[in-house]
Amino acid sequence: MPIRPSLRLSIVTLGVADVGRAAAFYEALGAVRGAPSSADVVFFDMNGVILALYGREALAEDAGTPAEGHGFAGVTLAWNLPDRASVDAALTTAEAAGGRITVAAREVFWGGYSGHFVDLDGHLWEVAHNPFFPIDAEGVTRLPEASDGEA
């Protein structure tokens, strides 16, 4: 009997206008390029999830969908950090690297502290300190243990 794999996020691929320019932006945020990167695709190890940058037209062709599209895509990538000062520093770094702040860091209704920016190709990122999601020694965000009665 085959084992049914559980759903997991392995790679997030962002379609970008210029792979080299986009890679420089993410490197400015502290991402470290990994192998087998090339001029056509760049990979970053993001603590167990891989971030890939690939030409938008090529990615659309590969997926069998039109490349044009504008506005909110219904997706936000999130970067959780251990404290408010780290959130402020990350947003400052993103802006200095050419990103655009869409919402300045502030206290939010769910009890955390967050702000948003878009990268050079309009991909939306939330940078947050979430006091309810612990970050381990390797910088990996973990879901808290479920308490009795929670599913």
pLDDT at position 140 is 85
pLDDT at position 31 is 95
- Could you report the average pLDDT of every consecutive run of 10 residues in the chain (151 residues)? 73 95 97 90 91 93 80 86 96 97 96 96 94 88 72 52
pLDDT at position 77 is 95
1-68: CATH topology: 2,3-Dihydroxybiphenyl 1,2-Dioxygenase; domain 1 (3.10.180)
Could you confirm whether domain 70-151 is CATH 3.30.160.20? no
Global pTM? 0.84
Cα–Cα distance for residue pair 20/40, rounded to 1 Å: 8
Cα–Cα distance for residue pair 138/49, rounded to 1 Å: 13
What are the φ/ψ torsions at residue 61 (nearest 5 degrees)? Answer: -60, -45
Q: Which among 144, 80, 139, 90 has a CA at the least distance from the CA of 112?
A: 80
Position 74, amino acid: G
* Domain extents in the chain: 1-68, 70-151
Query: Same fold for the domain at 1-68 and the one at 70-151?
Result: yes
Alpha-carbon dihedral sign for residues 56, 122, 111, 83: positive
